[in-house]
């Protein structure tokens, strides 16, 4: 496939990628040679069997070191005692005086 790359295909790829390649670079053999080398490398990669390789999103296998959140009876009792000490409350929410006053009211 890499041997089939010519200026016409390069112009087609230019349009697909929505890039503008300088005419001097377009006619340059170096650009064509580089593109052929890239495509040849992909041909080499096709030779590897990757059927049993798990996809990865990162090179390191990361896992969280944090514990799971669990609510204990002690925490519930502490929560209730703190809510009970507050003078105004609506359900599990504490009602406090407004911090900012509306200048229009």
Which range marks the domain in which residue 18 is found? 2-45
**Structural domain includes residue 73:** no
34-39 mean pLDDT: 87
**Structural domain includes residue 98:** no
18-41 mean pLDDT: 82
Total count of domains within the chain: 1
CATH of residue 7's domain is 1.10.20
**Structural domain includes residue 85:** no
Flag the least confident range among 21-30, 51-60, 68-77. 21-30
- Is the pLDDT reported for residue 11 higher than 70? yes
pTM score of the predicted model: 0.42
The conformation of residue 63, written as its DSSP 8-state character, comes to -
81-97 mean pLDDT: 82
Residue 41 pLDDT grade (very low, low, confident, very high; cuts 50, 70, 90): very high
Half-sphere exposure of 62 (CA within 13 A, CB side): 7
**Structural domain includes residue 53:** no
**Structural domain includes residue 52:** no
């Amino acid at each position: 496939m890499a041997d089939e790359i010519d200026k016409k295909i390069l112009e087609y790829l230019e349009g697909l990628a929505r890039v503008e390649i300088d005419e001097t670079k377009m006619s340059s053999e170096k650009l064509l040679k580089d593109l052929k080398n890239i495509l040849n490398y992909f041909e080499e990669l096709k030779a590897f069997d990757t059927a049993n390789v798990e996809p990865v999103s990162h090179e390191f296998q990361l896992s969280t070191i944090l514990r799971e959140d669990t609510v204990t009876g002690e925490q519930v009792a502490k929560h209730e005692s703190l809510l009970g000490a507050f003078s105004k409350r609506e359900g599990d929410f504490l009602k406090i005086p407004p911090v900012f006053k509306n200048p229009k009211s």
